[in-house]
Amino acid sequence: MYEFSPVAPRVARVRKRYRDTKPKVCIERFKLVTEFYQNHPTLPPMIKRARNLLNLCERMPVVVHEDEFIVGELTSTYHGSALFPEYAIGWIFDEIRSGELLNRTLDPYDMDQEDIDYVMQFEDFWSKNDLSRLTDDALPPEFHDIVGNGIVTFGDKGTGAGPVGHFCANYDKAIRKGFSAIKREAQEKIDLMKGRLYGEDAQREQFYYAVTIVCDAAITLSKRYAAECRGQAAECGDEGRRAELIEMAEALDWIMQNPARTYHEAVQCLYLYQIVLSLDGNLHGLTFGRVDQYLNSFYESDLAAGRITRERAQEILDLFCLKVAEMNKIWPSFATMAAGGYTSGQLITVGGIKKDGTDATNEVTYMLLECARRLALHDPPMSLRIHEGTPDKLWDIAVETTRACGGVPTFESDKVIIPALLDRGLSLESARNYCLIGCVEPGGCGDDWPANGGPGQETFWRIPGAVLLAINNGENPMPRPDGQPQRQTGLPTGYLYDMKSFDEVLEATKKQIEHFIDWHVSFCSVREYVARHHMPLPVVSATMDGCLESGKDVMYGGAKYNGTGFAGVGIGTATDSLVAIKYMVFDRKLCTAREFYDALMANWEGHETFRQRIMKEIPHYGNDLDYPDEIAEWISKVITEKVRSCTGPRGNHWSAGLYPVATHVAWGKMTWATPDGRRTGEPLSDGISPIQCMDTSGPAATLKSALRIDHRHSANGTLLNMKFHPKALEGGGKDKLIALIKTYFDLDGMELQFNIASSEMLRDAQLHPDAHKDLVVRIAGFSAYFVELHKGLQDDVIRRTELDLA
């Protein structure tokens, strides 16, 4: 078995501080951004965003905490959350007024009263200037007619609340090239065109200016941290720490501006660039990419030169991971139900193959997994790329890590993902260099603007809703939250009781699916049109391959590759719903369509025996049965074909995916009863997993069912979450789990993730949270400390069929 190294005492101290500190909202960023926006209403957005960032890098407090070696903060306090008013801030005013802000049971935060008072003064200003409002006002009138459809998620107001995220900047370039060189390149472009702005040159020149400004911003911040370290060194009584602070200062003075020279400098640069990106861009799925590939050459040359030991390198990486874990962002209270656990989605990818096709595993690969396992960290989340030549030792540490740390890492198959990305147009080298973005979404590493999360959060699309509308003449049976009467928002495809055959049901479902995918794409197009204008991202574009060459920001299609991601939620629920109709009404004729329809529309009230019979009788998806699996296959085909035919604003094709982060619980709450016997408000199925507890034939059968879905054409990711009893991994169980994953990948499965926990243990953790403070579980798109989750999500994990192998 893999032998993990011990945790250094200072790392243990930092970890304790991380786990013991209640996060606090810090308003430093809010103050600076508000002041800047108020003073500069006339700046063009491209320059405004760049100068806003420069202002932040010049004036944000720089803090170096005790025991830290890798530095950078978004706030003045440890483990704090900054505010991002220019994106969407209305919810915080609401939560302050209702008192909810300081009384959250989930993801609780502190905030000082004077800060609350300060923030409240600007409600009027931001309610007219944040991206959310700007999007609301730009939404064409026809969109209001389909609000409340139950499939595409948006409302009349607050439509743009989700920030633009889900990408992987080119960290490798930041580390190896530095921002001085990037700035010089941008300046040269300006010099070539200035005084002769033909065609679209004016826009390109603005972009290049913005790049020079953000390069200055990055360098400035680094030098300020260097100065802070020097200042602390001067006052430090401990000789060892003083030397260390000076070492830190020297590194910080050098990096960002220049190419990193050592492993330490590379790690610090990686982290500080992340801080700069986050200061600008709202920490939303800002993905680290292939960290083991960025760092290993530095580690090896330091080792060869005798500058570092394995222990020291591990310690630095531990401290880096704890810095990432510390970063967090306060979400609106309702959003913590869908995610929660202070999760920030800064995904790290390890393993896989290199650009030349050889195995990419290196010492840093192991060290990163060691960080997760030894420190029991769910953040940063990690994805492990698996290929034919993945070493046994890497399999071993990966399974040991996920055993202790649910869902870390996720397992991803190069065999399926690389061809899927080639299909998206990536070159062979770029496809081989892919990383996972956000939760499980494949994308290029530093050369791709995949918009895996769509242009914000609204990429989720509820498949069961399409089935409901298909059999209810385009009307969502769920009452509208505003109390308004329901209305027809979809196509008038008729009612179940008038349908003569199951083919009519399928035909109606297909129509609703295609219709609402078009609406979804339309909505995202509007959002991106607004977001690109107001929120270009020169700080990302500065490193992203393709942008400097083309003179275009990533938001304008400057990256070498472009895409937009789609995430279908609840295919298991939708499948079993169609199965139920087919089986009960048309094949077995156990009831009439009218009886079925009436019971469903009554949310099964007064029809409990009927509901039970449906759940007992029908063949369920997830058991390797053709009857349901053919329907799952059909749904996935209808969705992927339609999605892939759509185009986005950057001349890109859309790519399909089937994963939910953890929205399947929150959206279950907003979804009417479904034909599979699910009651109104109960969770939807998650990813491509079967409905919770309906996969009774064991994991191999579940995987066989999941393989009926077209993974190869789901380039935006699939997700399959399995729970194993800890006993399952005893004895030879570990090798068998590995064989299970290998077989799934051989048969063209894309992704797998595991919780190794027993239901008894999880129930005990609900009762005695303190005794299980460090229990990490995977929900769907992310992992979190179990005790910090919303009860609904906790129950969802418990309900998941426990594959006990005894």
Partner 1 sequence: MSSDPAGTIYDIQGFSVQDGPGIRTTVFLKGCPLRCPWCHSPESRRFDIQLSWQSRRCIGTAVCGLCLVSCPRGAIVPAEGSQSTDTEDGLQLIRVDWDTCDDCGLCAAECPAGALSMWGKRYTVSEVVDRALRDRPFFEKSGGGVTISGGEPLSQAEFTLALLRALKENGLHTALDTTGFAPWAVVEKALPHVDLFLLDLKNMDGRAHNAAVGVPNQPILENARGIAAAGGKMQIRIPVIPRFNDSGGNLRALGKFVAELGEAVTLVQLLPYHALGVPKWERIKHDGPILEATAPSDKKIGELKAILEEYSLTIQVH
* Shortest Å, Cβ 693 to partner 1: 12
Largest Cα span, the chain: 85
**Per CB under 8 A, does 1 bind partner 1?**
no
The single residue listed with the structure tokens 């496809």 is: 431
* Shortest Å, Cβ 623 to partner 1: 9
Indicate the residue among 587 and 608 with the shorter CB distance to partner 1.
608
* Shortest Å, Cβ 747 to partner 1: 6
Alpha-carbon distance of 363 to 278, in angstroms, equals: 28
**Sole window of 237-245, 263-271, 536-544, 695-703 interacting with partner 1 (rule: CB under 8 A):** 695-703
Question: Which residues fall within 8 angstroms of residue 730, CB to CB, at 6 or more apart?
Answer: none
Indicate the residue among 163 and 699 with the shorter CB distance to partner 1.
699
Which residue pairs from 98-107 have beta carbons closer than 8 angstroms and sit at least 24 positions apart in sequence?
100/333, 101/333, 104/333, 104/336, 106/333, 106/336, 106/337, 106/340, 106/788, 106/789, 106/790, 107/23, 107/330, 107/331, 107/336, 107/340, 107/341, 107/342, 107/788
**Sole window of 143-151, 323-331, 480-488, 731-739 interacting with partner 1 (rule: CB under 8 A):** 731-739
**Per CB under 8 A, does 403 bind partner 1?**
no
Nearest of 180, 195, 189 to residue 207 by alpha carbon: 189
**Per CB under 8 A, does 699 bind partner 1?**
yes
Which H or E element spans position 442? strand 441-443
Helices (H), 605-680: 608-617, 626-645, 663-669
* Shortest Å, Cβ 689 to partner 1: 16
Alpha-carbon distance of 716 to 440, in angstroms, equals: 8
Peptide bond connecting 380 to the previous residue in cis, omega within 30 degrees of 0: yes
Which tokens is 148 given? 């409340």
248, amino acid identity: M
* Shortest Å, Cβ 701 to partner 1: 5
**Per CB under 8 A, does 388 bind partner 1?**
no
Indicate the residue among 244 and 748 with the shorter CB distance to partner 1.
748
Q: What are phi and psi of 606, to 5 degrees?
A: 80, 5
**Per CB under 8 A, does 697 bind partner 1?**
yes
Indicate the residue among 182 and 386 with the shorter CB distance to partner 1.
386
Considering only residues 39-98, where is the footprint of partner 1 by CB under 8 A?
A: none
Indicate the residue among 214 and 740 with the shorter CB distance to partner 1.
740
Indicate the residue among 112 and 746 with the shorter CB distance to partner 1.
746
Nearest of 422, 414, 431 to residue 751 by alpha carbon: 414
b/e map 271-295, b = 16+ CB within 10 Å: bbbbbbbbbbbbbbbbbbbbbbbbb
* Shortest Å, Cβ 602 to partner 1: 14
**Per CB under 8 A, does 678 bind partner 1?**
no
Is residue 111 within 8 Å of 101, Cβ to Cβ? yes
**Per CB under 8 A, does 501 bind partner 1?**
no
**Per CB under 8 A, does 735 bind partner 1?**
yes
Indicate the residue among 246 and 590 with the shorter CB distance to partner 1.
590
217, amino acid identity: A
* Shortest Å, Cβ 804 to partner 1: 10
Considering only residues 589-608, where is the footprint of partner 1 by CB under 8 A?
A: 608
**Per CB under 8 A, does 743 bind partner 1?**
yes
Nearest of 442, 352, 411, 417 to residue 740 by alpha carbon: 411
Count of residues touching partner 1 (by CB under 8 A): 28
Considering only residues 605-624, where is the footprint of partner 1 by CB under 8 A?
A: 608-610, 612-613, 616, 624
The CA radius of gyration of the chain, in Å to the nearest whole number, is 26
Indicate the residue among 326 and 624 with the shorter CB distance to partner 1.
624
DSSP codes joined into one string, 351-387: ESB-TTSSB---HHHHHHHHHHHHHT--SS-EEEEE-
Indicate the residue among 147 and 741 with the shorter CB distance to partner 1.
741
Indicate the residue among 2 and 610 with the shorter CB distance to partner 1.
610
Which tokens is 644 given? 């892939």
**Per CB under 8 A, does 759 bind partner 1?**
no
**Per CB under 8 A, does 197 bind partner 1?**
no
**Per CB under 8 A, does 766 bind partner 1?**
no
Question: Could you give the C-alpha distances from 492 to 470, 474, 488, 578, 596, in angstroms and in order?
Answer: 8, 5, 8, 19, 20
State how far Cα 606 lies from the chain centre: 41
**Per CB under 8 A, does 522 bind partner 1?**
no
* Shortest Å, Cβ 267 to partner 1: 38
**Per CB under 8 A, does 698 bind partner 1?**
yes
Indicate the residue among 14 and 740 with the shorter CB distance to partner 1.
740
**Per CB under 8 A, does 102 bind partner 1?**
no
Binding mask 638-677 for partner 1 (x = CB under 8 A): ----------------------------------------
- Tell me which residues touch partner 1 (CB under 8 A): 608-610, 612-613, 616, 624, 697-701, 704, 728, 731-733, 735-736, 739-740, 742-743, 746-747, 803, 805-806
